[in-house]
């Protein structure tokens, strides 16, 4: 059993490295394989990261949303399961810019926005659980 990592802290770090401003602000986060502590790196973070943060035997980078395929494919799975009659519209959304805004507007119109957020949260937590297992980290609430 590996070092303990708290779900809420890992989710916050995951959101930090996956946010739309993450590229602009060079947002990174690493989990210590020794303590389970999460180290945040980026603009606005005052704490200096450990000097050996690049040592993969001691730290592991918190994954980004793109690492888990939780974007378009998750949207399509949700639509197929919850509102299958809208699948063609959603495919069309993703052929152009602004797909997520259109997708969320559709969900709002059909009363599925809250269901989507719950679905997305459950998928994210499951992906992080699997990531922790693969990296010998123990995820706790």
Which pLDDT does position 22 carry in this prediction? 54
Q: Are residues 110 and 134 in the same domain?
A: no
Give the 3-state secondary structure of 11-35: HHHHHHHHCCCHHHHCCEEEEECCC
Q: Which structural domain, as residue segments, surrounds residue 107?
A: 72-119
The structure tokens listed for 60 are 């592991």
Low-confidence ranges of the chain (pLDDT < 70): 1, 20-25
DSSP letter, residue 96:
S
Which pLDDT does position 47 carry in this prediction? 87
The structure tokens listed for 100 are 């997520």
Nearest to 12 by CA among 39, 32, 35: 39
Q: Are residues 76 and 99 in the same domain?
A: yes
Q: Are residues 101 and 49 in the same domain?
A: no
Which pLDDT does position 36 carry in this prediction? 95
Element (H, E) at 40: strand 38-41
The total number of structural domains in the chain stands at 2
Q: Are residues 11 and 56 in the same domain?
A: yes
Q: Are residues 11 and 42 in the same domain?
A: yes
Tokens 């035997």 sit on residue? 57
Q: Are residues 48 and 9 in the same domain?
A: yes
Q: Are residues 14 and 53 in the same domain?
A: yes
Total-model pTM? 0.86
Which pLDDT does position 111 carry in this prediction? 97
Q: How far is CA 108 from CA 89, 90, 105, 113, in A?
A: 14, 14, 5, 5
Q: Are residues 9 and 59 in the same domain?
A: yes
Q: Are residues 53 and 103 in the same domain?
A: no
Q: Could you tell me which residues are beta bridge partners of residue 41?
A: 28
Show Cβ contacts of residue 137 under 8 Å, excluding neighbours closer than 6 positions. 2, 3, 4, 5, 31, 33, 36, 60, 131
Q: Are residues 34 and 51 in the same domain?
A: yes
């Amino acid at each position: 059993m590996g070092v303990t990592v708290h779900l809420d802290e890992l989710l916050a770090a995951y959101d930090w490295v996956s946010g739309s401003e993450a590229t602009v602000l060079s947002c990174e986060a690493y989990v210590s394989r020794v303590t389970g502590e999460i180290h945040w790196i980026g603009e606005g973070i005052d704490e200096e990261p450990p000097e050996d943060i690049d040592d993969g035997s001691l730290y592991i980078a918190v994954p980004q949303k793109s690492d888990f395929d939780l974007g378009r494919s998750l949207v399509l799975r949700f639509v197929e399961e919850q509102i299958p009659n809208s699948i063609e519209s959603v495919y069309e959304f993703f052929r152009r810019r602004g797909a997520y805004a259109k997708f969320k507007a559709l969900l709002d119109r059909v009363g599925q926005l809250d269901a989507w957020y719950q679905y997305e949260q459950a998928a994210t937590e499951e992906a992080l659980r699997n990531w922790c297992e693969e990296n010998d980290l123990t995820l706790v609430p």
